[in-house]
Structure formats: structure tokens, C-alpha cells
Homo-oligomer: A and B are copies of this chain.
Amino acid sequence: MTDKILSHIDATLESRLDRLCDLIRIPSVSTDPAHKPDVARAAEWLAATLREMGAEASVRPTPGHPMVVGHLPGPADAPHVLFYGHYDVQPPDPLDLWETEPFEPVLRPVEGDTHIVARGASDDKGALMTFVEACRAYAEVAGGLPLRVSFLFEGEEESGSASLPGFLAGAAEELACDIVLVCDTDMWDRETPAVTTMLRGLVGQEITIRAADRDLHSGMFGNAAANALTVLTGLLASLRTQDGGVAVAGFYDDVRELAPETAAQWAALPFDEAGFLRDVGLSVPAGEADRSVLHQLWARPSCEIHGIWGGYTDPGFKTVIPCEAHAKLSFRLVAAQDPLTIRDAFQAHIRARLPEDCTVSFTDHGLAPAWAMAGENPFLAPTLAALADEWGRSTTCGTGGSIPIIGALKGALGVDALLVGFGRFDNRIHSPNEKFDLSSFHKGMRSWVRIIDRLGACRSS
């Protein structure tokens, strides 16, 4: 039966790709209020797609963007999996660096593969559709699935998942399951699929500095009047240590050294530090000087500035002393770092260094703890085996990214998550010219069929 389903996927790849492209064409940018109707349209599209597959599915309103919830029945003694994905995407800007329209997917043949180029092609529309289409193919051939599947699609992942905890609190009973499946991560390398067992957390912050009560002329006031941009740059620089670390007091208090076995596993992974950086035009790891790149990315917390603006930024020159300055930045967290504690330590660091004449205000943009999968989870081994069936190999790994839902789901539903991803490292997610490999989509669907088979065979003991 498995072979028949896999052959069916091979034979119907084109129509499955068409459906993915339909979803990509909806510019569901959750962080931009102008795209609110598009986000709603993407939710409706997904609910209709699930219903087409025979699922019971609907769009559920939240205070922010809606959730899509669906259910497909299965044998009562088989595991009940909840698949999570997000249908919102990052803004496409800077637009002038795109070679094609961000929301009009283009198929670009490359040596040995084809790239699906578009915002969301990989993160997360392409990835979530590998699971949806695997279920569809399974049901088309076998008439039903060997396990119970629920779907939860979120529309705010790229903008902080503000509505998720409240929604989960109200839907915990409906979403009760044995394991959460998530497809929003990368493969280890082009040939090796991975189950990601560690995620970093996130504290997103926007900061505004105000100095004088108006913009001033630097000839009339230069030297004597506080300059909001000078203050902001000084404060942001004060967050960093000379050796690439973070200078906020207490920041590393709850960071733990890796378990020796994990460190050994990572050391055994074939990873070319120089090549990793060279691929994006760099050569020197920018984080803590005494840590390897993989440790910097997966096991060490970070502080990154995402945007700064203030003063005169148009062509030409204006000798203004700006009265306001703004920045967006975030901390990635690891291990037991508590998002609220880190946020408060950051804000205290800024307030303690703020010149007397300035005021500061902060806005939260998401707070999520780091996460690590329990090593003894019974679904891990069958998933790794199913992946190896399809690809000839598989591995576990960490990631430097954050998927805040994992912690929220664990808290609300009391179950762990299995993060299986088919993204490639060069997919340019969040950047111009994002792409998803057609082979990721194709073998991703095939992988999920095999995982569904293997997990369906796990009977409650």
C-alpha cells in the first residue's frame, strides 16, 4: 500500500505543485495591517482545502489573525497527531532585490532540481503543504489514514503568535493529541533529513528614545543638546561585549553548557564552518570568540538589531539633531533563559544608562522560551527510521531559530513536538528571492507518507 501511495504522489506531482502555488499567490504578510484581508483569504483557502480532502475543517477567529482547525478520522487505537503549520509569511522587502515578483511563484530549473521562487515558498507554505498533500494522497489511495490527524494552521507566526496562547487555552480539549508534528525546519544537508530537537527562544523588542521636544539645528545646538540617535547608538553598542557576547547583566545566568553527548553528536556532524559563512559573503564568526559556529547558532543566546531609523534619511543632507530615534532588536534564547527575565534585564540595562534628559519606551514583539525535545520520546525513533527509508539516512540536530508555538503547545496540551523539516539551508527564508526545492516538496510528501505509516503502527501500550 505504501508503494502505491508513493507512486501516486510521483504521478500527480504537478497538480500538488499547482495547489501550493495557489496558496503562495495569497500575500499573507501578517505583520503588515494592509495585508489583513490577504491573511484571512489564506486561512479560508486552507480550510476549504482540508474540507476537499474529507476533513472537518473551519476558520476560527482570534483577536488577531484567524486559526484554521481541521480533523481527519483514524483508528481509535492509533496515535493522534496534531500537525502545526503557519500560513502567514514575512514581508517581502527589500522589494528591489527580488528578481521576480515575490508573490508570483516562478519555477526555475537548476542543475538536478527546480527552484520554486516566491515569498513563503519554503517558510512555511511549501513545508506545510508537504504534510497536507501527503494526507491527501494517502486518503486518495487508501481511502483513509492509519492514524488520527488534526491540523492547526496559524496566521501570526511571523509576527509573534500573540493570539496563540489564548486560542490554545480555549481549544485544548479539541486539540488533545499524543504528539505534535511540525514542518518548519531545515534538513541537515541536501541529502540528510533531520529531526530538530532544540530551538532557541526569542525576545523581540522595539525601543524609542526621545530627547529634546523638537528636532534641532546642529549649528544652533550641536554639542549642547542631547541627540536621540547618538544616545540610541551608545545604548545599543553597550549591549555588546568586545568578544562578541551580550553585556546585559545576568544574561548568561541560565545558559547551560551542552550535555557532553549532545556536544559529541554535533562535533560528529559534517559541518564546514568556513563554507557556511563563505556562502553568504562572510569569513569570521561574529559571536563569542571561544565558541564554534554551530554552538553560536544552536546553543548560545544572541542579540541582533533588525532595524534602526531616525533623523534625516532622504537623499542629500540635513544638519538636524533628531529628537527621536527607533530600533527593533531581538534576543535569541537558549536552555533555561526566561523570556520575561531577559526582557526585563534588557530594559533595566537601557534605563540604567539613559541620559537624564531622555525618555525611553519599549514595545514587545514576541516572547518565547527555548525548547529541547525529551530524548526518550517514543515517536522519535520511528520518525528517524521513516526518514531513512526515503532518503537512505537521517539525523537529529539543533537550530538557531525559534518556533514559539512549541513551548505554547507543550504548555497547553502537555505533549512534545516532532520537528521534521525539508527546507534547505540556502532557501533564503525571510530574504529576497526565497525558494523551495521541488525535490524538498516531492520527497517531503513521500517522507510524510512513510512517517504516517510508521507512526500509525505505534499502538497505545
Instruction: Please give the residue numbers on chain A whose beta carbons come within 8 Å of chain B beta carbons, in ascending order.
Output: 30-33, 90-91, 93-94, 97, 158-160, 186, 200, 202, 204, 206, 211-227, 229-230, 232-234, 236-238, 240, 244, 276-277, 280-288, 293, 296-297, 300-302, 304-323, 325-328, 330, 332, 355-357, 365-366, 399-402, 425, 428-432
A310 and chain B: residue at smallest CB distance: B308
- Rounded to whole Å, the gap between the CB of A266 and the closest CB of chain B is 14
- Rounded to whole Å, the gap between the CB of A135 and the closest CB of chain B is 27
- Rounded to whole Å, the gap between the CB of A241 and the closest CB of chain B is 11
A296 and chain B: residue at smallest CB distance: B223
By the criterion CB–CB under 8 Å, are B91 and A316 in contact? yes
If A212-B282, A214-B280, A225-B280 are given as contacts, then 12 extra A-B residue pairs at C-beta distance below 8 Å, sorted by A number, are A31-B315, A33-B315, A90-B318, A91-B318, A212-B281, A215-B431, A224-B285, A236-B237, A281-B323, A308-B308, A308-B309, A313-B326
By the criterion CB–CB under 8 Å, are A304 and B400 in contact? no
Separation of A288 and B204 alpha carbons in the complex (Å): 35
Contact of A308 among B226, B233, B282 (CB under 8 A): B233
By the criterion CB–CB under 8 Å, are B317 and A328 in contact? yes
- Main secondary structure on A side of the interface with B: loop
By the criterion CB–CB under 8 Å, are B226 and A400 in contact? no
By the criterion CB–CB under 8 Å, are A93 and B314 in contact? yes
Identical subunits present: 2
By the criterion CB–CB under 8 Å, are A218 and B330 in contact? yes
By the criterion CB–CB under 8 Å, are A310 and B307 in contact? yes
By the criterion CB–CB under 8 Å, are B31 and A297 in contact? no
By the criterion CB–CB under 8 Å, are A237 and B227 in contact? no
In the complex where A219-B400, A399-B219 touch, is A307 in contact with B430 (Cβ < 8 A)? no
A280 and chain B: residue at smallest CB distance: B212
Contact of A322 among B233, B297, B306 (CB under 8 A): B306
By the criterion CB–CB under 8 Å, are B328 and A311 in contact? yes
By the criterion CB–CB under 8 Å, are B316 and A277 in contact? no
Contact of A400 among B221, B311, B314, B323 (CB under 8 A): B221
By the criterion CB–CB under 8 Å, are B229 and A240 in contact? no
Contact of A218 among B215, B219, B285, B306 (CB under 8 A): B306
A-B contact pairs, 21 of them (CB 8 A): A32-B314, A33-B315, A91-B316, A93-B314, A202-B319, A204-B319, A218-B306, A219-B332, A220-B425, A222-B400, A223-B244, A223-B297, A223-B332, A226-B286, A227-B304, A229-B327, A237-B237, A284-B355, A284-B357, A286-B355, A320-B431
In the complex where A233-B237, A282-B211 touch, is A224 in contact with B296 (Cβ < 8 A)? yes
Separation of A4 and B244 alpha carbons in the complex (Å): 75
By the criterion CB–CB under 8 Å, are B317 and A280 in contact? no
Chain B residues near A306 (CB-CB < 8 A): 218, 229, 311-312, 317-322
In the complex where A221-B280, A277-B225 touch, is A432 in contact with B316 (Cβ < 8 A)? no
Chain B residues near A159 (CB-CB < 8 A): 316-317
- Report which residue of A186, A222, A276, A309 has the largest number of chain B beta carbons within 10 angstroms of its beta carbon: A222
Q: Lowest 8 A-B CB distances belong to which pairs?
A: A219-B401, A31-B316, A213-B281, A237-B237, A223-B287, A307-B311, A317-B365, A223-B302
By the criterion CB–CB under 8 Å, are B302 and A222 in contact? yes
By the criterion CB–CB under 8 Å, are A222 and B332 in contact? yes
By the criterion CB–CB under 8 Å, are B282 and A215 in contact? no
Separation of A6 and B280 alpha carbons in the complex (Å): 72
A234 and chain B: residue at smallest CB distance: B237
Separation of A312 and B32 alpha carbons in the complex (Å): 12
By the criterion CB–CB under 8 Å, are B224 and A234 in contact? no
Chain B residues near A430 (CB-CB < 8 A): 215-217, 318-320
- Rounded to whole Å, the gap between the CB of A398 and the closest CB of chain B is 11
- Report which residue of A282, A284, A296, A315 has the largest number of chain B beta carbons within 10 angstroms of its beta carbon: A282
A226 and chain B: residue at smallest CB distance: B286
By the criterion CB–CB under 8 Å, are A222 and B315 in contact? no
